[in-house]
């Protein structure tokens, strides 16, 4: 099902979230700087997330993403304006969905399995990026500690790397919520019994409405915060182990 993020209700939610969060940035120069420095991290996270979807589909035999130019690391191929703005100002967002044709998948997987693999590829890519940049961060702290903390350029690099880690963890966790239109819903459909799958497909709009309610209320934080904290704590231990900081 294709979701219309331009419907009036969704746009109203966008406006409320942006206005609510924008005032904080306009009154705090440090938060505004953090917002600017998070932009490259967001581009990296969204681009690699959608590229992973396209790559997984391509490897499974579906050339639809390749023909549409989505098998690319060019951010312009993958950015959804609404999703990016929301990620900037509300902490959650998405890229331009990769279109696939499951009928093109090779016979090594079923359509359900193929859909799950393609859907899982995006969050896994975000977790991989968070891991890689945690290693980089640990090495920077180990060999360039003073530069990162006491040099302006070093501070910018430190903030950028931290943003890449944080945003990729958030993207990965958020997209695993098993509600449409998120990746987690497609992964869930691959393991549900047939009757349950049919029920989910018949009630996509209702489930999408539930997603919106969860998203704009503290419920979303309650759902994803424990998982995000758990992943961040694990990455922090990795960073400290590499950096040698006690």
| Burial group, residue 154, by CB count within 10 angstroms (0-12, 13-18, 19+) | middle
**Quick one: tokens of 204?**
């996509």
* Separation CA 164–CA 126 (nearest Å): 9
* Separation CA 189–CA 176 (nearest Å): 12
Cβ atoms of 78 and 96 within 8 Å: the answer is yes
Cβ atoms of 71 and 54 within 8 Å: the answer is yes
The catalytic residue positions are 50
Please write down the long-range contacts of 139-142, taking CB distance under 8 Å and 24 or more positions apart.
139/242, 139/243, 141/239, 141/242, 141/243, 141/245, 142/242, 142/243, 142/244
- Nearest to residue 97, comparing CAs of 206, 5, 203? 5
């Amino acid at each position: 099902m294709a979701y219309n993020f331009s419907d009036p209700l969704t746009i109203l939610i966008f406006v409320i979230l942006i206005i609510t969060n924008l005032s904080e940035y306009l009154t705090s120069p440090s938060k505004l700087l953090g917002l600017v420095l998070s932009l490259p991290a967001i581009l990296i996270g969204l681009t690699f997330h959608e590229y992973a979807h396209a790559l997984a589909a391509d490897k499974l035999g579906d050339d639809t993403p390749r023909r549409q130019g989505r098998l690319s690391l060019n951010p312009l191929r993958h950015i959804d304006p609404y999703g990016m703005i929301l990620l900037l100002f509300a902490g959650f967002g998405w890229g331009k969905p990769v279109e696939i044709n499951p009928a093109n998948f090779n016979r090594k997987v079923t359509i359900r399995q193929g859909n799950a693999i393609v859907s899982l590829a995006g969050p896994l890519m975000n977790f991989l990026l968070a891991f890689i940049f945690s290693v980089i961060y640990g090495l920077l702290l180990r060999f360039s500690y003073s530069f990162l903390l006491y040099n302006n350029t070093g501070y910018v690099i430190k903030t950028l790397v931290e943003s890449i880690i944080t945003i990729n963890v958030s993207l990965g966790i958020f997209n695993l919520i098993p509600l449409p239109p998120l990746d987690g819903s497609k992964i869930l459909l691959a393991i549900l019994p047939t009757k349950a799958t049919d029920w989910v497909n018949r009630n996509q709009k209702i489930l999408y409405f539930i997603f919106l309610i969860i998203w704009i209320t503290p419920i979303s934080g309650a759902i994803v915060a424990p998982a995000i904290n758990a992943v961040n704590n694990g990455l922090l231990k990795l960073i400290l182990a590499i950096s040698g900081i006690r």
